[in-house]
Amino acid sequence: MAILTGSNKIKTAVFISGTGSNLKSLIKFSNLKKSPITIKLIISDNPKAKGLIYGKIFKIKKKVFNFKNKSVAEKKILLEINKNKIKLICLAGFMKIISKNFIKNFKGKILNIHPSLLPKYKGLNTHNRAIINKEKFSGCTVHLVNSRLDSGKIILQKKVEIKKKDTSKRLAKKILAEEHKLYPKAILKIFNL
Ligand code: GAR
C-alpha cells in the first residue's frame, strides 16, 4: 500500500474513558508522514475523562455520550461516525462493551488495546490477577473487536516480564509504555505498511 497523505488518510475515531495516554500516542503517530490514519474524532462515555484535554490541545473534535441508555448512545455515535466518514475506530481505554448491533452497523474496522497477553486475563484487573497467579510475563495485545469480550483476532502482542518487586501499579506503568508503541505498530500492520 502506498503512503497516504493529507486527505487520503483513513479517518479514525478514538474512544476513551480515562487518562487517554494511548490517545495521545495515537495522535502523535497520526501526525507522522508514515501514518495511514488521521484522527478526526474523540469519543468518550465519561465527561470527566482526562484524555478529553487532547481534543483541545490537538484541535480534534470531541464528543461525550451518556451510556445510561446504551442503545441510544450507540445510535448517536453511529450517526456522528457516519457524518465524519470514520473508517477505523480505535478503542483506547474505553471501558464500555460495544454491542453486537454497533459492530454490525459500523462499516469499518474496530481495534482495541488490552493490557494482558490475550487470551489470558480478559476483562478487568488484569495486572493484579497476573501477579496473584505468579505469572512470569504479562503484556499487551491489540486485537480486532468482535461481539465477544476481548476475543477478536489478535493483531500484535508485546510481552513484558513481571519482576518480583512489581506491584500491579508498577506493572501497569511498564505495560502502558509498551502499549504506546504497540498500537501504532498494529495499525501499520493492518494496513500492510
Ligand atoms: C490501558 O492500559 C488500556 O490497555 C486499558 O486501559 C488503560 C487506558 O489507559 N484498557 C482496558 O483495560 C480495556 N479493557 P489510557 O487511558 O492512559 O490510554
Per residue in 15-25, pLDDT (tens digit) is 999 999 999 99
| pLDDT tens, position by position, 66-123 | 999 999 999 999 999 999 999 999 999 999 999 999 999 999 999 999 999 999 999 9
Q: Measured in angstroms, how far is the CA atom of residue 102 from the centroid of ligand 1?
A: 21
Q: Which DSSP helix (H) or strand (E) runs through 14?
A: strand 10-16
Paired residues of 107 in beta bridges = none
Shortest-distance Cα residue to atom 5 of ligand 1: 93
Grid cell, residue 92, equals 483506547
Query: Confidence band (pLDDT; 50, 70, 90) for 1?
Result: low
- Are residue 86 and residue 126 in the same domain, yes or no? no
Spell out which residues line ligand 1, taking CB within 6 angstroms: 16, 18-22, 51, 92-93, 113-115, 176, 179
**Boundary residue ending a domain (107, 126, 155):** 107
* Structural domain ending residue among the three candidates 78, 107, 136: 107
With 60 as the cut, is the pLDDT of residue 63 above it?
yes
Statement: residue 5 has pLDDT above 60: yes
The mean pLDDT of the chain is 96
What single-letter DSSP state applies at residue 6?
A: G
User: The C-alpha cell of 27 is what?
Assistant: 495522535
User: What is the number of residues in the chain?
Assistant: 193
The whole domain housing 172 covers: 115-193
- Name the band, by pLDDT with cuts 50, 70 and 90, for residue 6: confident
By three-state DSSP, how is residue 153 classified?
coil
Closest CA to 144 of 173, 114, 176: 114
Same domain, 102 and 165: no
Kindly report the CATH number assigned to the domain that includes residue 183. Answer: 3.40.50.170
Ligand 1 centroid distance, CA of 167 (Å): 17
Whether residues 82 and 132 share a domain: the answer is no
My answer on whether 42 and 64 are in the same domain is: yes
- Residue 40 pLDDT exceeds 60: yes
Query: Mind listing the pLDDT tens digit for each residue in 111-168?
Result: 999 999 999 999 999 999 999 999 999 999 999 999 899 999 999 999 999 999 999 9
Residue nearest to atom 10 of ligand 1 (CA): 93
Q: Is 6 exposed, middle or buried (0-12, 13-18, 19+ CB in 10 A)?
A: exposed
Whose C-alpha lies nearest to ligand 1, atom 17? 21
Residue 105: HSE in the Cβ half-sphere, 13 Å Cα cutoff: 15
Under the banding of pLDDT at 50, 70 and 90, the label for residue 3 is: low
Cα 188 to Cα 190: distance, rounded to the nearest angstrom: 6
Q: What is the pLDDT at residue 2?
A: 59
Strands 109-114 and 154-161: unpaired
Where does the pLDDT of residue 7 fall: very low under 50, low under 70, confident under 90, or very high at 90 and above? confident
181 alpha carbon – ligand 1 mean position (Å):
14
* pLDDT score of 4: 73
Same domain, 52 and 134: no
Q: What is the pLDDT of residue 157?
A: 98
Answer with the one of 61, 81, 107 that is the final residue of a domain.
Answer: 107
